[in-house]
Amino acid sequence: MKLIECVPNFSEGRRPEIVAAIRDAIAGVAGAHILDTSADASHNRCVITFVAPIDVVADAAFAGIAAARTHIDLTTHSGEHPRMGAADVVPFIPLEGATMEDCIALARTLGERVGRELGIPVFLYERAATRPDRENLADVRRGEFEGLRSDIGRTPQRVPDFGPSAVHPTAGAVAIGARPFLVAYNVYLGPASNMPVAKEVAKAVRGSVGGLKYVKGLGFEVDGQAQVSMNLVDTEKTPLYQAYDMVKMEAEARGVTPTWSELVGLVPERVLFEAAARHVRLRNFTPDMVLERKVRAAITGGESLSEFVGSVASPSPTPGGGSVAAHAGALAAALAQMVAGLTVGKKKYAAFDAEMRELAVRAAGLGHTLAALVARDASAYAVVAAAYKLPAEGDAAQREKVATIDEALLHAAEVPLETARACAQVAELALAVAERGNTNAASDAGVAALLAEAGAVGASYNVRINVNSLSERQRGAALATEAMTLVARTRELAGRTTDIVERSFG
């Protein structure tokens, strides 16, 4: 199932009953699930985050836009944040199993419907933009509602993609698009008297004028405080901690110290883990070291198979081959345990009853180990990716970066090596149940052996690719050698097992 996130921004943050009405309209579409609602009175704006399957997400977004048109009148609206519509911005973000192309298609479908049924002009932006000058939301929204009323349709740049060439009298226009996950992040610089500094800092960090790429920034006065408001449009390439560090540096250069910061809406936990690891200089930190994660996994049993397959299929490097190898090993262990269980208590196999009981317990333990390695492998890669993003200005920083990368790579090689070790043990169990287990389940023993072999070989690839990336390969030579030894052993065991299975067919 393809899942899409939608994060519409509405021009209302002071009347809770209106925010609730819009939220209820979205939630009223079957399959749409509200994740978060954030309202800001100073900005007079709310952000509603929801997820839905790809076949209903546009319907839910349409319901929200229609409700905003009913309840919000921009002719009487005021607030700190730029806006051109009652429903101002409606982006689609690909999640599980979905692609950016899916979101672009959704933006166009929704845009056509909004223009046709609601009479609101629609401008496609970001990845859904039909022209380069509409990729940047700030360019699309220039002049806001008041300016757009006089400019729309007068030049090619101001002709909407869908709908009338005149703003809706009270609901304005809407920008609908597709983008990667965006993090809304604000840093406060003390009292409002520091507003000139906030505006200078916002300009300095803004990617469009030479600051941080993938960062959009503005200076606002919010509740008597000076705020640098940022949208981090690609936190893989410009992490949150890098944005904060630059704001701090630019502010302190002007004699102002940041007082606090805030996130608006939801944020991927990876972003926070990266920031924490960066500022306390953690090495080899992985998300599965977080207690609450372990507790949730233990209580829920982890993600479903369909969720895992969707995660693998997503355009993200994790979970990847290492996790899939561990998953294959876990399935192999489960099959070996099943065959042992089908043997226990049968008179025909009474002589092997005690052995099969013990084997089932061993298989269960290996299955749990390999299931945990699925997540550990993905987490180990995340540490490697974070290490490569460390700054390297100056010789000392470069040396520290190389050392951190090497430590992360070694850890990322050790995790799949554990997978290969476990798969070799599972192959031993598969051979045992093929030799002495219930012959009615011989094919299951054969599949267990083949999966164990695939898991070991796949894990060895991940060991070797990480070792090959070390600045000094000899540091990981022993890991690569052991991985190849385990592959040879697993292949030999799997071959013996499949020979037995083939003979059982006559």
Q: Which residues are catalytic?
A: 81, 377
Task: Give SS3 for 175.
Answer: strand
Task: Give SS3 for 443.
Answer: helix
Angle between helix 321-343 and 442-468 (nearest 10) = 150
If one counts every other C-beta atom within 10 angstroms of the C-beta of residue 211, the result is: 20
Q: What is the β-pairing status of strands 45-53 and 9-10?
A: antiparallel
d(CA 443, CA 360): 17
d(CA 167, CA 154): 12
d(CA 53, CA 58): 9
Helices (H) and strands (E) in the chain, counts: 15, 11
Element of type H or E holding 60: helix 57-71
For the residues of 425-437, what is the DSSP string, one character each? HHHHHHHHHHHHS
Looking up tokens 């490097």 gives 317
Amino acid residing at 81: H
Which residue in 93, 125, 31 sits closest to 265, CA to CA?
93
d(CA 424, CA 50): 44
d(CA 377, CA 294): 15
Q: What is the DSSP letter of 118?
A: I
d(CA 337, CA 342): 9
Looking up tokens 């929200």 gives 64
Q: What is the β-pairing status of strands 45-53 and 33-40?
A: antiparallel
Question: Is the N-terminal amide bond of 132 cis, ω within 30° of 0?
Answer: no
Whole-number Cα distances in Å, 391 to 182, 187, 285, 287: 22, 22, 18, 22
Which tokens belong to 152?
């729309």
Amino acid residing at 191: P
CB 417 within 8 A of CB 479: yes
